[in-house]
């Protein structure tokens, strides 16, 4: 009798709970199996094909290399249409420029005059390889070969006065490049409550 009275109450509580907060933890304890067994195992070859991202320590970089000179000709052909002949003209993202230099005063500039470039803003050189390799050029994403990507990266780093003109970028050298804005980034310290951050 008592159980019969309680059941609808419990059910109602679950429904209300689901509407307001995630009821899942409660259900999980009582009804979820350890595993459902859905999905199929991924082979290491499949994972290799899909997982092509590059991390700041250089993990994922192919065993290849490229030069500033080669990068310049690839850039002219494949990139300058969107980013300008010298990487400053646009019409899309400005890639080259060290101003405002050490002041890093983006947050103080109400007129947004300083554009965030590779030279003044990007904290990791490996991110360049990662992004260009997968998402560029805009009209044919992922169409550059590894040496071409290394070369374009080398060219852009050189244009930003980060590496010399004779530098070779490879899986060994790229992770060692220290970007000017490397130490500018801080973790989010907002946490709600009374403070405005």
Partner 1 sequence: MTARSTRSGISADKNTDVPAASLSRRTLLAGAVGVIGATLLDNASALHAQAKGLMPSPRALDDPGKVQGHIPTELGERSPFEHPRRRVNRAAPSGESESPLQDLYGTITPADLHFERHHGGVPVIDPAQYTLLIHGMVDRPLKFTLADLKRFPAVSRVCFIECSGNGYRGFQTTTMKREATPSWIDGLLSTSEWTGVPLTTLFREVGVKPDAKWLLAEGSDAAHMTRSIPVEKALDDAMIAYAQNGEAIRPEQGYPARLLLPGWEGNSQVKWIKRIELAKDPFMTREETSKYTDPLANGTARMFSFVMDAKSLIIFPAYPNTVSRGWCIITGLAWSGRGKITRVEISTDGGHSWQTAELQAPVLSKCTTRFRYPWKYNGGEALLMSRAVDETGYVQPTRAELVAARGAGTFYHMNSIRGWKVERGGKVFFHVEA
Nearest-angstrom CA–CA distance, 184 and 156: 20
Out of 3, 29, 35, 63, the only residue in the binding site for partner 1 (CB under 8 A) is 35
Distant-in-sequence, close-in-space partners of 175: CB < 8 Å, separation ≥ 6: 56, 57, 58, 61, 125, 126
Out of 24, 69, 90, 145, the only residue in the binding site for partner 1 (CB under 8 A) is 24
CB of 170 to partner 1, least distance (A): 19
CB of 140 to partner 1, least distance (A): 9
Nearer to partner 1, 1 or 196 (CB): 196
Task: Give yes or no for residue 141 binding partner 1 (CB under 8 A).
Answer: yes
Task: Give yes or no for residue 118 binding partner 1 (CB under 8 A).
Answer: yes
Q: How many chain residues interact with partner 1 (CB under 8 A)?
A: 64
Per DSSP (E only), the strands in 43-183 are: 65-67, 168-170
Nearer to partner 1, 89 or 102 (CB): 102
What is the radius of gyration, based on Cα positions, of the chain? 25
Angle, CA 67 vertex, CA 129 and CA 51 arms, to 5°? 25
> 121, 132, 114, 131: which is closest to 162 by C-alpha?
121
Nearest-angstrom CA–CA distance, 61 and 174: 9
Task: Give yes or no for residue 45 binding partner 1 (CB under 8 A).
Answer: no
Task: Give yes or no for residue 178 binding partner 1 (CB under 8 A).
Answer: no
Task: Give yes or no for residue 150 binding partner 1 (CB under 8 A).
Answer: no
Q: Going residue by residue from 77 to 116, which x/- string records binding to partner 1, judged by CB under 8 A?
A: --------------------------xxxxxxxxxx---x
Count of CB atoms situated within 10 Å of the CB of 97: 21
Nearest-angstrom CA–CA distance, 126 and 63: 14
Nearest-angstrom CA–CA distance, 78 and 5: 72
Nearer to partner 1, 2 or 50 (CB): 50
CB of 13 to partner 1, least distance (A): 15
Structure token pair of residue 150: 């290394």
Binding site for partner 1 (CB under 8 A): 18-24, 27-28, 32, 34-42, 46-47, 50-51, 53, 55-56, 103-112, 116, 118, 121-124, 126-127, 130-131, 134-135, 138, 141-142, 184-194, 196-197
């Amino acid at each position: 009798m008592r159980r019969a009275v309680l059941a609808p109450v419990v059910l109602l509580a679950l429904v209300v709970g689901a509407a307001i907060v995630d009821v899942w933890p409660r259900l999980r304890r009582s009804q979820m199996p350890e595993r459902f067994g859905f999905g199929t195992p991924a082979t290491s070859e499949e994972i290799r094909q899909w997982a092509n991202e590059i991390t700041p320590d250089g993990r994922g970089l192919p065993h290849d290399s490229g030069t500033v000179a080669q990068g310049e000709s690839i850039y002219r052909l494949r990139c300058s249409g969107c980013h300008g002949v010298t990487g400053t003209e646009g019409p899309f993202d400005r890639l080259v420029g060290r101003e405002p230099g050490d002041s890093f005063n983006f947050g103080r500039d109400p007129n947004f005059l300083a554009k965030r470039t590779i030279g003044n803003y990007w904290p990791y050189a490996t991110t360049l390889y990662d992004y260009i390799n997968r998402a560029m050029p805009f009209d044919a994403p992922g169409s550059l070969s590894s040496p071409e990507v290394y070369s374009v990266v080398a060219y852009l780093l050189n244009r930003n006065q980060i590496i010399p003109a004779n530098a070779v970028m490879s899986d060994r050298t790229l992770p060692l490049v220290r970007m000017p804005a490397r130490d500018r980034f801080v973790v989010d310290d907002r946490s709600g409550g009374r403070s405005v951050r």
